[in-house]
Structure 1
Amino acid sequence: MVTLVDIREAESRIRGKIIRTPLVYSPTFSSMSGAEVYLKLESMQKAGSFKVRGATNRILSSRDAIGPAGVIAASAGNHAQGVAVAAGLAGVPAAIVMPEWTSLSKQEASRGYGARVILAGTSLEESIVRAKELAGTEGMMFIHPYDDPAVVAGQGTIGLEILADLPDVDRVLVPVGGGGLIAGIALAVRGLRRSARVTGVQASACPSAIASRERGGPVAVDAESTIADGIRVKRTGDLTFPLIRDLVDQVVAVEEQAILDAVLLLLERKKVLAEGAGAVPLAALLSGAVAVTPGEKVVLVISGGNVDTFLLERILKRGLFDSGRIARIAVLIKEDSRSLPALLEVVSREGGVIGAVDQDRDDPGVPLDRMRVRIEVETRGPDHRDRILSALQRAGYRPL
């Protein structure tokens, strides 16, 4: 079992090897929630997530037992990069087994940190099996992403930093996948401030910790697709579950739309790039999944900021559409030189910013003397969008 002493030893061991990330007060999210909200920005950690803490503690605490072949891990993302960075700090080789579908950007990121990347398996579970096989045949030390005492202790150093910066914290909201992060943080926070509450947050697409708490032990759940792929873990860890059961006050789930909104809000309001898993604490706070009292001091652990560039583009676009900040409007207009400028003038007069214009004359459903025009308009929100639509209708247009 991991103890507070282990976490303190981990803090001493990894000091100077990792970044002591900032705890930042957010006036915006405080106003929106009624609580006093702080962000623990592990998105600013080395390799872009908290994972480097646990990996560094595991490697440094076992340095004498690591052979010339080095260490091996299985991951589709943050754990891979965390292990690669930690191995580089310790001067040992690292190999990462990744599922065959892992994005090219994540593969290249791991290689960029010095790791040897091995593609094997159609799921993370299959990749873990392969990594363990290679650990045995090639003499490498296997580093589990969460079910490892040294890894849990390393993640728990986040809790020590939170209490050092905010000794009277009332509640800490933490993403939950396999449970290593929340187990370590809960040990530190509850060990030093018993009255503080620790709340776990999962994606509704994969509520493994919630199911495990209901059943009284780790159980596997079906996992759907989610943008919070960093916490898409089908089964809570055997080591981490008792700590979650005994030290975590509640675990809640948030829907995809709330996660999307949180990613967008963090970027727009705080200029913080968070991956889906890192944004779930804010999603829980603002969606009402967690009830807070006015003035309560709440820390949101923004666990990582590694977002694939192309996925980020889609997330932002979807978020802007869903929030009414971008509208797509299609109308039929006459096929002459004045019709399109007149249409765009109505939108411009109402303050809409035209981002794209597409004209379609070839659709068989469009009359020969007409053309279909699709315009993409940036707005200030749903009310502004509706005013633009009303202005178009008053001008005689019939948005499709």
Structure 2
Amino acid sequence: MELVTISDIEAAAERVRDVAVRTPLLLQTWDPRGTLWLKPESLQPVGAFKVRGAFNAIATLDEERRTRGVIAYSSGNHAQAVAYAAQRYGVPAVIVVPDVAPRIKVEATRSYGAEVIEVPIGEHEAKAHELATERGLTLVPPYDDAAIIAGQGTAGLEIAEDLPDVEVVLVPVSGGGLAAGVGTAIKARAPRARVIGVEPALAADTAEGLRLGRQVDWPQADRARTIADGLRAQPSELTFAHLRKVVDDMVTVTEDEIREAMRTLARKARLVAEPSGAVTTAAYLSHAGELPPGRTVALVSGGNADPAMFAEILAG
């Protein structure tokens, strides 16, 4: 199996340069250890890192395939990213989402002009493949694709450039595309740094799989329990191969730790983070004993929090 290289990520950086925001590294002065930087991918045009991979994937398509249109399946952030990228390229997009996806993400996807099709949870991937065949659309998967991994890896390239002496990089893990890409970039450009993946304890299939040295399958119903709706997927064969190579360790966080991290990010960092985007901060705040010491970057992967849920958590 051919893995994504640093050259692939550098090429992706050129493609997304004028579209993806180069998000800053923000030193958190409220942190008593003084070793935490946040990379707020929540500030991307679609409110999440997914714009990087979506643009890189569509940019690599030939004109004929782009003209026919694209299709994606997603719980929300990848949906928005593909819809946004397709709108920028002027091509049609169909997005299949689970019917439990946060409404804020579904409506945002529609606002970019995409056709949104809602299906029961667990059926959106199969439906997307079916429609791709029926309509002659090109599938843009959320993580199981080299161009997607390379695009997400551009965030890691920026971390290494902006903090060359970084010692720890905390990155959320779900389908594994972000961690695979960021880990690949960090290992190439800041090889002394340790890459730590973070999962909700209720969806910790990757943590178990890496510990066992093989992929494991957690039932969809189990993974759906976590509040972190963007972290309910499982790695593919491709992303798991990357994770085995570039992720040094895994940390899992509880639902209460995620909520507390969301409150901390809002009150002290002035950042809106959805639950999936807050897990890395949760790991830093609540699991310091499991992490290596030193200059740490926590990647805040997204900020598309449901308003009602966010208000409830802040009030807690």
TM range (shorter): over 0.9
Shift of 1:68: 3.3
**Matched residues in 1 for 2:171 and 2:67: separation?**
36
Check whether the contact 2:251–2:290 (CA below 8 A) recurs between aligned residues.
Answer: no
Q: Where in structure 2 are there 5+ consecutive unaligned residues? A: none
Q: Deviations over 1:123-175 (max 9, x none)?
A: 1x311100110001101001110110000000000011111111111110001
Pairing of 1:186-197 with structure 2 (within 5 A): 186-197=183-194
Identify if the C-alpha distance between structure 1 residues 65 and 248 changes in structure 2 by more than 3 Å, giving closer, same or farther. Answer: farther
Pairing of 1:24-173 with structure 2 (within 5 A): 24-29=26-31, 31=32, 34-120=33-119, 122-123=120-121, 125-173=122-170
2:22 paired with 1:23: no
**Matched residues in 1 for 2:204 and 2:300: separation?**
19
**Matched residues in 2 for 1:293 and 1:239: separation?**
27
Q: Where in structure 1 are there 5+ consecutive unaligned residues? A: 321-400
2:177 paired with 1:217: no
Q: Deviations over 1:196-237 (max 9, x none)?
A: 10000000010011121133222211325122111112x222
Check whether the contact 1:275–1:304 (CA below 8 A) recurs between aligned residues.
Answer: yes
**Matched residues in 2 for 1:153 and 1:224: separation?**
27
2:8 paired with 1:13: no
Letter in 2 for 1:12: E
Which residue does 1:323 correspond to in 2? none
Larger Rg: 1 or 2?
1
**Matched residues in 1 for 2:88 and 2:209: separation?**
36
Identify if the C-alpha distance between structure 1 residues 250 and 292 changes in structure 2 by more than 3 Å, giving closer, same or farther. Answer: closer
Letter in 2 for 1:254: V
Check whether the contact 1:35–1:292 (CA below 8 A) recurs between aligned residues.
Answer: no
Which residue does 1:226 correspond to in 2? 226
Check whether the contact 1:212–1:236 (CA below 8 A) recurs between aligned residues.
Answer: no
Letter in 2 for 1:137: E
**Matched residues in 2 for 1:37 and 1:119: separation?**
39
> Is the partner of 2:67 in helix, strand or coil?
coil
Instruction: Point out which structure has higher relative CO (alpha carbons under 8 A, 6+ apart).
Output: 2
Identify if the C-alpha distance between structure 1 residues 27 and 67 changes in structure 2 by more than 3 Å, giving closer, same or farther. Answer: closer
The aligned length equals 311
Pairing of 1:280-295 with structure 2 (within 5 A): 280-288=279-287, 291-292=290-291
Which residue does 2:6 correspond to in 1? 4
CA RMSD across the alignment: 1.4
Shift of 1:118: 1.0
Check whether the contact 1:145–1:151 (CA below 8 A) recurs between aligned residues.
Answer: yes
> Is the partner of 1:87 in helix, strand or coil?
helix
Letter in 1 for 2:226: T
Which residue does 1:388 correspond to in 2? none
Q: Which TM-score applies when normalising by structure 2?
A: 0.95
Shift of 1:22: 1.2
**Matched residues in 2 for 1:153 and 1:293: separation?**
26
Check whether the contact 2:42–2:301 (CA below 8 A) recurs between aligned residues.
Answer: yes
Letter in 2 for 1:43: S
Identify if the C-alpha distance between structure 1 residues 179 and 65 changes in structure 2 by more than 3 Å, giving closer, same or farther. Answer: farther
Percent of residue pairs identical: 44
Identify if the C-alpha distance between structure 1 residues 292 and 207 changes in structure 2 by more than 3 Å, giving closer, same or farther. Answer: closer
**Matched residues in 1 for 2:307 and 2:290: separation?**
34
Shift of 1:67: 4.8
> Is the partner of 1:97 in helix, strand or coil?
strand
Runs of 4 or more off by more than 4 Å in structure 1?
Answer: none
2:316 paired with 1:314: no
Which residue does 2:203 correspond to in 1? 206
